[in-house]
Structure 1
């Protein structure tokens, strides 16, 4: 009889009070004569009568926690009747019989903590009245629908200037304020991300244990995504990458259809999304559970660079500095293995390493797998501070070309972990999946 995998204990969910506090923090940065407008995601048609699974817009979720499409949030600092106004779908018994219960405008106030709520049929008329007299309107400039709506509302108010209407005189981009707020995670967010990383780690372990020649890449993808669902993560945080052999050299390979071949490596880049927060882990391991000597030598170059990079994640460090250290370590390893020839510093200056290492070492992680927040301050690389969450993911991708030593051709290796900056260093959120050669081989022997 097969024993079902244990189910992890999930951390506490965010509450209406948490989202209210986020809105208050954002409004504290806005002028008293301003307003901010943020739109939800809508439904996206997949084909004919079918939509893609709904996933809320990350900015809208961050401020509201609202689970439904076709909604809008208006923030009005200092408004006595209520600063936080939601527009949402109306209660509709027939529609709800098909697609599920809606919270509705009354529930938005009573249950979700908004000061006021209106249904969408009144949205444009009510919005215009609420914006009358506000001098600046903050919207996310990357959201074309929001910009179109903002311009329409301003034009509607401008048409009534003779009757005393006062349209906003300027639009401002909300992203710099909101995205800087999102960049620094609080303890509740970190708990959710720790859980997403733990689910992701268990999924990678499961894939290692099941791997063998004769399976296909999609079999490992199925094992990974089964674990996501089993642990309550309804979807991957991004399209899972499972690249066997030379496919691992394609950075965003997502076909996942090829057979797994005896003697080759397989690279898996996959992460669970839990409560909309992303896990993002990459591991590379031998299909049959045993590294060949050339594979091991190349793997250890990447692993040592990654371990040194993680150790460098401390308050005050910069992602640029960490990346430069990784480039030096990888280039040194490439010279030692004979894949590059010459002085390490000169090879770095000439960017010779870029034949084998094309991407950056890190990116922010949060509600988006490539999360928001500037990487620079005043034109300079920004120092890391506690609460930032980032990936550390060096890699080497050796092309299958004639001037490459045969034993290294077509090998792709990436090792990626999720790391949070703490007050005195860092915490690796994704530590639950092995990455040393010995630990991977031991795990795969046990799985076999």
Structure 2
């Protein structure tokens, strides 16, 4: 399957947009990620720093992007030099010459040139921009170079006197997705939704959670998304009441539910989908009742998404539905309005309703939280998850036995559009009828 990729022009535009927000006579620095040792002389699969990736599209470790703002913009990349021997062992390197032309930087140099060249770029600038508090080693490196430039004051060279944390600026840029980004996010959702469908088709009592995890990863990779966006949660029975469960080693038992929270990553962009379904293909009556409460809450919250709405408002909607549903089932008791005021449903709905989604699963961007409420109005181009859930552990003796050990979460990825919203998670069944019908075909 051929997957979509962002054109290089997209990264050039982003660098221009970032530089437009820099003051004249300033320098900004972004560092690529580093390879991390897994064991002895083997490394984890490399994951690029997402701010760096957003501005460059460059996938090698250890690289550095410098942007200079005077009367014009200048982008400079420092990357690993070409080395035939190392490339035989560890793979091809782009090299400075090809990086400059292929990624459309104004200049490109080998990493060994960074200290000397950066000191020259920093000289006589008034501000140094970087992401503060995110990379202590590289931050110390910058401070050492800044001290070097300060030491040249007798030569008439002036060092920056203002250090500026530019994270908020790039976070805000990343929050609003371009048309090209949205196309990739649609594709990674289709791939991920197909994996959830495959999991339902392959699920059988007697298998182990890791068998289903393998089906997910297979479906991701065969459709061009080699990596999962995060460790897949494949939680059967009471394991679903552990929010970030990922041991994935228990045997599947007929009569229990299976909660899967899994999404692929495509060209850096994440999907984040959760489905909960019966291992033997048919919901029990208690499971069905609880599941429908969660689904109704999700559907009503999603239906309300449009520009200027807030996550706080959606959370109110979801909590209203969950509270009424739990009251109808006898899991909560008392006056409905008082239960709402007391946030009684939060005993069983123990996490937030959603989060931003993009290059990171929990993506960057200010939520404008006040009094623990997320009050930022939605704008077209934002992508967020909506994921209500209900969790009743097996040892909760305050409820009837029929409800115990049930954990349910349903999660979709939603794009805010000019007129409303678009659900990107369109091909993973979630109604009771669709789930049972699909699974019945593959028994």
Distance 1:394 1:290, change over 3 A: same
State the match for 2:404 in structure 1.
409
Picking from 341, 349, 354, the partner of 1:357 is: 349
State the match for 1:4 in structure 2.
none
Picking from 236, 242, 258, the partner of 2:234 is: 242
State the match for 1:88 in structure 2.
79
Alignment of 1:211-250 (within 5 A): 211-250=203-242
Q: What is the deviation of 1:436?
A: 0.5
Unaligned residue ranges in structure 1 (runs of 5+): 1-6
Q: What is the deviation of 1:347?
A: 1.8
State the match for 1:376 in structure 2.
368
Q: Check whether the contact 2:64–2:78 (CA below 8 A) recurs between aligned residues.
A: yes
- 1:100 maps onto 2:91 in alignment: yes
State the match for 2:144 in structure 1.
152
Q: What is the deviation of 1:75?
A: 0.5
After TM superposition, the score normalised by the length of structure 1 is 0.96
Mean Cα displacement is larger for which, 114-123 or 284-293? 114-123
- 1:32 maps onto 2:24 in alignment: yes
Alignment of 1:323-402 (within 5 A): 323-376=315-368, 381-400=375-394, 401-402=396-397
Q: What is the deviation of 1:110?
A: 1.6
Distance 1:107 1:73, change over 3 A: same
What is the distance in 1 between the residues matched to 2:338 and 2:227? 45
SS at match of 2:69: coil
Distance 1:243 1:378, change over 3 A: closer
State the match for 1:110 in structure 2.
101
Picking from 191, 206, 210, the partner of 1:199 is: 191
Q: Check whether the contact 1:90–1:105 (CA below 8 A) recurs between aligned residues.
A: yes
Picking from 418, 440, 446, the partner of 2:441 is: 446
Picking from 110, 122, 132, the partner of 1:131 is: 122
Q: What is the deviation of 1:31?
A: 0.3
Q: What is the deviation of 1:378?
A: 9.3
Mean Cα displacement is larger for which, 143-152 or 234-243? 143-152
What is the distance in 1 between the residues matched to 2:225 and 2:367? 29
What is the distance in 2 between the residues matched to 1:278 and 1:42? 20
Q: What is the deviation of 1:79?
A: 6.2
SS at match of 1:46: strand
What is the distance in 2 between the residues matched to 1:211 and 1:378? 43
- 1:209 maps onto 2:201 in alignment: yes
SS at match of 1:397: strand
Listed one character per residue, the Cα deviations across residues 158-186 of structure 1 (whole Å, up to 9, x for unaligned) are 11111112111011111111110000001
Picking from 277, 281, 300, the partner of 1:289 is: 281
Q: Check whether the contact 2:27–2:121 (CA below 8 A) recurs between aligned residues.
A: no
Q: Check whether the contact 2:26–2:70 (CA below 8 A) recurs between aligned residues.
A: no
Q: What is the deviation of 1:351?
A: 2.8
Q: Check whether the contact 1:140–1:146 (CA below 8 A) recurs between aligned residues.
A: no
Listed one character per residue, the Cα deviations across residues 168-227 of structure 1 (whole Å, up to 9, x for unaligned) are 101111111111000000110000000000000000000000111000111110000100
Q: What is the deviation of 1:245?
A: 0.2
Q: Check whether the contact 1:179–1:372 (CA below 8 A) recurs between aligned residues.
A: yes
Listed one character per residue, the Cα deviations across residues 258-291 of structure 1 (whole Å, up to 9, x for unaligned) are 0110100000000000011001100000000000
What is the distance in 2 between the residues matched to 1:264 and 1:153? 59
State the match for 2:428 in structure 1.
433
Q: What is the deviation of 1:229?
A: 0.6
- 1:16 maps onto 2:8 in alignment: yes
How many pairs does the alignment contain?
Answer: 439
C-alpha RMSD over aligned residues: 1.3
Distance 1:89 1:197, change over 3 A: same
Q: What is the deviation of 1:308?
A: 0.3
Q: What is the deviation of 1:146?
A: 3.5
What is the distance in 2 between the residues matched to 1:436 and 1:377? 33
Q: Check whether the contact 1:392–1:419 (CA below 8 A) recurs between aligned residues.
A: yes
